[in-house]
Structure 1
């Protein structure tokens, strides 16, 4: 449309009441719709397109767009939470693997030390046996020495025990 056609299609209202009656809405609804379409509340001249816009309910459009924005935000939050959950799961799995490796290493160390202890116990047992044998041999040797020493004593020393 040209500017001339727009000027011819302009409808003027003397006050807000005439505009409300023309559109068929309350004062609050009129001002809310004018605000939604960025029109000044003192405006009294409108094109037919502007009047048609004011007759529509922008609140539904706003609510639908708000719902869409909210749904998008919720979807983004869900994706972020899912990503975070996956990341935490991966970290958890990694930590479990590390702990299992540490545990298997510690178990190997325990097994190694248990073998060392078993070997040490065997060695100690052998040493005790050898010590007992040494003590028995020492006692036998002492007895044999005493017998030999007694047999070399003179007759009188043997008789008087000196």
Structure 2
């Protein structure tokens, strides 16, 4: 017999089930149960109140079904993967260090060029100021000094 249970609010249903709000929404989404209705079947309530079996299955596998040789081979495979990852990351770090060094050299060159350009500009500006400051001499004065 599939009877229907009525709840006025979602909070009332959550309190009835004895679970938290995030857990309720996560389970409802996983089971495909609408959360905005007020009428739930006994089967839906039973499913919502059940704890997840995924973690239990994983725990039972790790404690009972996996033999020592299997766990050793799994750990060895994980170590090999970790070693490969570390090796790849070491190569990446070396490449990045090389790039950073090249960037520092380029920045140093750019700063030297900017400094040289600024000093040339200052010299030209000084020459211009000197030319502006010298009084104009007449023709005869320039000739006979």
What TM-score does the superposition give when structure 2 sets the normalisation length? Answer: 0.49
Higher share in helix: 1
Task: Work out which of the two has the higher radius of gyration on C-alpha atoms and give 1 or 2.
Answer: 1
**Structure ranking higher on relative contact order (CA contacts 8 Å, 6+ apart):** 2
What TM-score does the superposition give when structure 1 sets the normalisation length? Answer: 0.44
